[in-house]
Amino acid sequence: MVIDSAMIWEWVIKSVAILIFCTAGFAYTTLYERKVLARMQVRWGPNRAGPRGILQPVADGIKLIFKEELIPAKADKLIFVIAPVITVIPALIITGVVPWGPDITIGGRTIHLYLANINVAVLYIMSITSISVYGITLAGWSSNNKYATLGGLRSTAQMISYELALGLAFVGPILLAGSMSLQDIVAAQAKSVPFILLQPLGAVIYMIAVIAEVNRAPFDMPEAEQELTAGYHTEYSGMKFALFFMAEYIKMIAVSTIGATLFLGGYLGPFLNVAPWLGPVYLIGKVAILLYGLIWLRATLPRIRYDRLMAFGWKVLFPLALLNVVLTAAGITLFGGK
């Protein structure tokens, strides 16, 4: 690979594009969620700002920017300010390893539709997602608020119980593709079928574990509004609050993107060899479907109690994920992988 100035510009542009996609995606995921929830709950949802409410996220953003930022007098100020940053940055950089489409050629130059093709992409995802829980725990602790502390502690307890199952759910596609690179995993799916058909159990375990990962209902106990007012972000206001909110939604998008890549064939779809630009369209479509699933769950299910989540994580999800790994490995040994 030749690193020239054009290459660097390409990286910069792609990074900016991913950041913009994540932040704009965050804004419109909130609208998407509110609209879908509203229709499921026989109401209209936001429909005042702009036609059909499409400017609602903008209005919300402006409101949050102009809100007063309060820091509690007895809070640990440095950590209090850093915590939202620690939460939001990992969420923004997770999607860097996800391929968006096949290579395209513009002006004689081949452009890869991904930012980085690292051979340990899955490990990278695992490690980066784990960082953001520090932000939540620290936010809860530094607020010097009992509700926030309980929320922070719960998120720690929650993380212990789902991370193992999540890691093991990744193993299935890795074994099938014989690689940890997401590009290779997508390529392997291009040759066979989307891995959800070969790994139905793995896909289900992945989806359950990521709901816990992104603190969504029914596993949203770190912020359980009804019990802990707002959990770890009780004391946050203005843009600092918005950063937590942003992290949650960007992580929703990120885990849906990764889920789509690992199990639904990523950017793959018909007519891709004719029009490579369809790749990102397919990926976004699959992400929207997974997001719909997350929203649907929120509209339907009551919250699970956190001790039950831990029991569920350790006693149900973890053994099932192990079983899945064993079955996949046995299958590959018997019938041949790749």
Partner 1 sequence: MTEKQTIELGGMNHLFSERALTGETMVLNMGPQHPSTHGVLRLVLELDGEIVQNVVPDIGFLHTGIEKNMEAKTYQKAEVMTDRMDYMNTIGNNLAYCLAVEKLCELEVPARAQAIRVILTELQRIASHLIWMGTSALDLAAMSVFLYAMREREMIMNIFELVSGQRMMTTYIRPGGLWRDVPVEFEAAVREFIEILPRRVDEYESLLTNNPLFKERTVGIGIISAEECIRWGITGPVLRGSGKAYDLRKARPYSGYEQYDFDIPTATGGDINARYTVRVAEMRQSVRIIRQALDSLPFGPVRSNDRKYIPPPRSEIGTSMEALIHHFKLWTEGFTPPAGSVFTAIEGPHGEMGVFLESDGSPKPYRIHFRTPSFANLQIMSLLSRGHFVADLVGIIGSIDIVLGDCDR
Binding status of residue 217 toward partner 1 by CB under 8 A:
yes
**Binding segment (CB under 8 A) for partner 1, from list 102-110, 115-123, 192-200, 224-232:** 224-232
Alpha carbons within 13 angstroms on the beta-carbon side of residue 157 total 18
Sole binder of partner 1 in the list 14, 240, 286, 298 (CB under 8 A): 298
Binding status of residue 306 toward partner 1 by CB under 8 A:
yes
Sole binder of partner 1 in the list 51, 107, 108, 302 (CB under 8 A): 302
**Binding segment (CB under 8 A) for partner 1, from list 178-186, 201-209, 257-265, 296-304:** 296-304
Binding status of residue 52 toward partner 1 by CB under 8 A:
no
Say if CB 268 and CB 93 are below 8 A apart: no
Binding status of residue 229 toward partner 1 by CB under 8 A:
yes
For residue 225 the two structure tokens come to 């509004």
Binding status of residue 308 toward partner 1 by CB under 8 A:
yes
**Rounded CA separation 322/326 (Å):** 6
**Binding segment (CB under 8 A) for partner 1, from list 125-133, 212-220, 260-268, 280-288:** 212-220
CB of 234 to partner 1, least distance (A): 11
Alpha carbons within 13 angstroms on the beta-carbon side of residue 38 total 13
Q: Which neighbouring-strand residues pair with 111?
A: 104
Residue closer to partner 1 by CB (options 151, 279) is 151
CA dist 148 → 68, 78, 141, 178, 231 (Å): 20, 17, 7, 43, 5
**Binding segment (CB under 8 A) for partner 1, from list 6-14, 50-58, 204-212, 294-302:** 294-302
**Rounded CA separation 168/120 (Å):** 15
Binding status of residue 74 toward partner 1 by CB under 8 A:
no
Binding status of residue 79 toward partner 1 by CB under 8 A:
no
Per-residue exposure over 87-124, b if at least 16 CB sit within 10 Å of its own CB, e if not: bbbbbbbbbbbbbbbbeeeeeeeeebbbbbebeebbeb
Binding status of residue 300 toward partner 1 by CB under 8 A:
yes
Say if CB 275 and CB 55 are below 8 A apart: no
Binding status of residue 36 toward partner 1 by CB under 8 A:
no
**Binding segment (CB under 8 A) for partner 1, from list 85-93, 129-137, 240-248, 300-308:** 300-308
**Among the listed residues 284, 324, 291, the one whose alpha carbon sits nearest the alpha carbon of residue 174:** 324
Q: Which of residues 102-161 bind partner 1 (CB under 8 A)?
A: 146-147, 150
**Rounded CA separation 57/17 (Å):** 19
**Rounded CA separation 10/18 (Å):** 12
Sole binder of partner 1 in the list 43, 77, 315, 338 (CB under 8 A): 43
For residue 321 the two structure tokens come to 């994920």
Binding status of residue 170 toward partner 1 by CB under 8 A:
no
**Site residues, partner 1 (CB under 8 A):** 40-43, 146-147, 150, 217-218, 220-221, 224-229, 298-308
